[in-house]
């Protein structure tokens, strides 16, 4: 009877050891998953902030380019396209020697 109790005690001890090993493995796995989820959440928050900054920069850039196009267009119209009525066309012809 004593041998049976010793074997039973050993089996119970081994069973609890196995259960404790499995629980430790589950805990390590849960900690690893928690760390990965935390890293992903942090990256998502950072990415959202960077995206908002990029959109803000894009809107500023769009305004700047529009203003530059408007200024260049206005100056181009004033300088080049608007005819001047007091312009005098020269009728002097200069003869240049040929290169032959």
Residue 52 buriedness (CB in 10 A; 0-12 / 13-18 / 19+) = exposed
What is the structure's pLDDT at 37? 93
Categorize the per-residue pLDDT at 77 as very low, low, confident or very high, splitting at 50, 70 and 90: low
How confident is the model at residue 75, as a pLDDT? 78
| d(C-alpha 43, C-alpha 56), whole Å | 20
| Mean predicted confidence (pLDDT) in 57-77 | 88
Whole-model pTM over 0.95: no
What's the pLDDT tens digit per position in 9-59?
899 999 999 999 999 999 999 999 999 999 999 999 999 888 888 899 999
CA–CA separation, 84 vs 72, rounded Å? 19
Is residue 65 classed as helix, strand or coil in its secondary structure?
helix
Report residue 63's pLDDT band, with 50, 70 and 90 as the boundaries: very high
């Amino acid at each position: 009877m004593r041998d049976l109790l010793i074997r039973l005690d050993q089996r119970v001890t081994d069973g609890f050891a196995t259960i404790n090993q499995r629980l430790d493995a589950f805990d390590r796995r849960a900690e690893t998953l928690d760390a990965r989820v935390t890293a992903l959440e942090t990256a998502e928050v950072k990415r959202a902030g960077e995206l908002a900054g990029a959109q803000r920069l894009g809107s500023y850039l769009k305004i700047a380019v529009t203003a530059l196009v408007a200024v260049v267009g206005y100056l181009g119209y004033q300088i080049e396209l608007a005819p001047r009525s007091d312009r005098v066309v020269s009728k002097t012809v200069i003869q240049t020697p040929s290169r032959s």
